[in-house]
Amino acid sequence: MMMRNASPETPVADHKTLDAFLDGWAGTDPTRVAVSRAVLGVCEAGRAIAAIVGRGALEDAMGAQTHLTNAGGDAQKALDVRTHDIVVEALRKQPVSRVGSEEAAEEVVLDESAPVAVAIDPLDGSSNIENNVSIGTLFGVLPEAGADTFTQPGSAQIAAGFVVYGPATALVLTVGEGTHAFMLDHVSGAFLRTHQDIQIPKSATEYAINASNQRHWDEPMRAYVADCLAGAEGPREKNFNMRWVGSLVADIFRILVRGGVYLYPGDGREGYAQGRLRLVYECNPIAMICEQAGGAATDGRTRILDIKPAKLHVRSPLVAGSAEEVERIARYYADRPSKGASPLFAKRGLFLA
């Protein structure tokens, strides 16, 4: 990972505990203390989820379908429901007013007198549960604002992060002062900082997208990917690799490590006009993490953190990662040809700088 004031080859691993990091940041400020406790509550849940995920097929029916759907209409698996319950119970012990979860149609009210709320996807990438692929938990911490709490723009987030359940259990966290990575020490149970002030490389030679949906994309996205596929002989004059894990936290963690751009556009399929990611508890946390790491995040045109959600479970396209690549993609959308333009003209992305 890259850091400010250090070369990529010499990242600082100070191994400060998450508790010490949060104590130093929060001091005696009551709101910051509440945020810190909310983050620690998510991490308590993360330890329990990591232990379950780590057992794989030894854990009974972890990936079994429940015949239920979540608020977004996606099929729920047994572990989706279980992780929601684990998260809510962990946050119930913290000064958290309410929880907005992907796995519940309505927000869960805990203590309306508490100063902060948590928006959370308890189990990102659950389609990969049985495939031994990294999955995770995404969250954002917001100031309590009554009925308007989860319709605040992402710029209102005080903290955001995600936990990756992979070969290592990793926490990526920002409290608005850079993006940091912590690894779970399974011996002590502590999250220890391994990378501080991560910086996403500004330029990129990798992109992450589900290419099987290409026929459904709009012209700006087709033009962008076509230019990347043209490689060194094309207008970009360099070769690109494509990566797609199908787990948002895994793809974003890779981008934090070595750069790149993550793409989940809206497309022409029924129900996919705004993509499939949820703005409040998926796109917003990722956007804050990326911006605090020197990257960027948009819906193709608009900064993610500037979008005001109409409701808790609203969807949004997402373009996130290396700043130069995110800005380039925005130019493809800004130069979108008018409806009915010729196929050749529709690929004017080929001529963008």
**pLDDT digit string, tens, across residues 140-186:** 999 999 999 999 999 999 999 999 999 999 999 999 999 999 999 99
Residue where the block lists tokens 């949060």: 22
| pLDDT score for 63 | 53
- 62 pLDDT band (50/70/90 cuts)? low
DSSP H or E stretch at residue 245: none
| pLDDT score for 316 | 98
| pLDDT score for 130 | 82
- 17 pLDDT band (50/70/90 cuts)? very high
Give per-residue pLDDT as tens, 218-244: 999 999 999 999 999 999 999 999 999
Q: Running DSSP on this structure, what letter comes out for residue 132?
A: T
**From 144, 206, 251, 282, active-site residue:** 282
262 is in an annotated binding site: yes
Q: Provide the mean pLDDT of the chain.
A: 90
**Bridging pattern class, strands 198-199 and 2-3:** antiparallel
**From 74, 107, 130, 185, active-site residue:** 74
| pLDDT score for 68 | 57
188 is in an annotated binding site: no
125 is in an annotated binding site: yes
Please state the rounded mean pLDDT for residues 50-55. Answer: 93
- 341 pLDDT band (50/70/90 cuts)? very low
| pLDDT score for 131 | 86
| pLDDT score for 19 | 98
Where do the DSSP E strands lie in the chain?
2-3, 65-69, 75-77, 96-101, 108-109, 116-124, 135-143, 159-165, 169-174, 179-184, 191-195, 198-199, 206-208, 241-242, 261-264, 296-298, 318-321
- 70 pLDDT band (50/70/90 cuts)? low
The crossing angle, in degrees rounded to 10, of helices 284-292 and 248-258 is 10
| pLDDT score for 14 | 82
- 58 pLDDT band (50/70/90 cuts)? confident
| pLDDT score for 339 | 44
264 is in an annotated binding site: yes
Q: How far apart are CA 182 and CA 193, in angstroms?
A: 4
Q: What percent of the chain has pLDDT over 70?
A: 87
- Tell whether the model's pLDDT for residue 12 goes beyond 70: no
- 78 pLDDT band (50/70/90 cuts)? confident
**From 44, 91, 124, 312, active-site residue:** 124
Please state the rounded mean pLDDT for residues 83-96. Answer: 98
| pLDDT score for 67 | 53
121 is catalytic: yes
19 is catalytic: no
- Tell whether the model's pLDDT for residue 5 goes beyond 90: no
121 is in an annotated binding site: yes
| pLDDT score for 219 | 96
- Tell whether the model's pLDDT for residue 324 goes beyond 60: yes
111 is catalytic: no
- 345 pLDDT band (50/70/90 cuts)? very low
124 is catalytic: yes
Please state the rounded mean pLDDT for residues 22-30. Answer: 98
**From 44, 102, 219, 299, active-site residue:** 102
CATH of domain 206-351: 3.40.190.80
What's the token pair of residue 43? 């991490």
Q: How far apart are CA 94 and CA 90, in angstroms?
A: 7
Q: How far apart are CA 27 and CA 9, in angstroms?
A: 33
206-351 has the same fold as 2-199: no
207 is in an annotated binding site: no
Please state the rounded mean pLDDT for residues 270-299. Answer: 97
What's the token pair of residue 82? 């279980």
CB atoms within 10 A of CB 169: 24
Q: 105-114, 246-255, 272-281, 343-352: which has the minimum mean pLDDT?
A: 343-352
305 is in an annotated binding site: no
Domain boundaries of the chain, sorted by first residue: 2-199, 206-351
| pLDDT score for 9 | 43
Please state the rounded mean pLDDT for residues 337-350. Answer: 38
CB 210 within 8 A of CB 318: no
Give per-residue pLDDT as tens, 101-130: 999 999 999 999 999 999 999 999 888 888
318 is catalytic: no
Where do the DSSP E strands lie in 220-324?
241-242, 261-264, 296-298, 318-321
Q: 2-16, 201-215, 251-265: which has the minimum mean pLDDT?
A: 2-16
Q: Choose the CATH number for 2-199 among 3.30.56.10, 3.40.640.10, 3.30.540.10, 3.40.50.300.
A: 3.30.540.10
102 is catalytic: yes
Q: The whole model's pTM is what?
A: 0.90
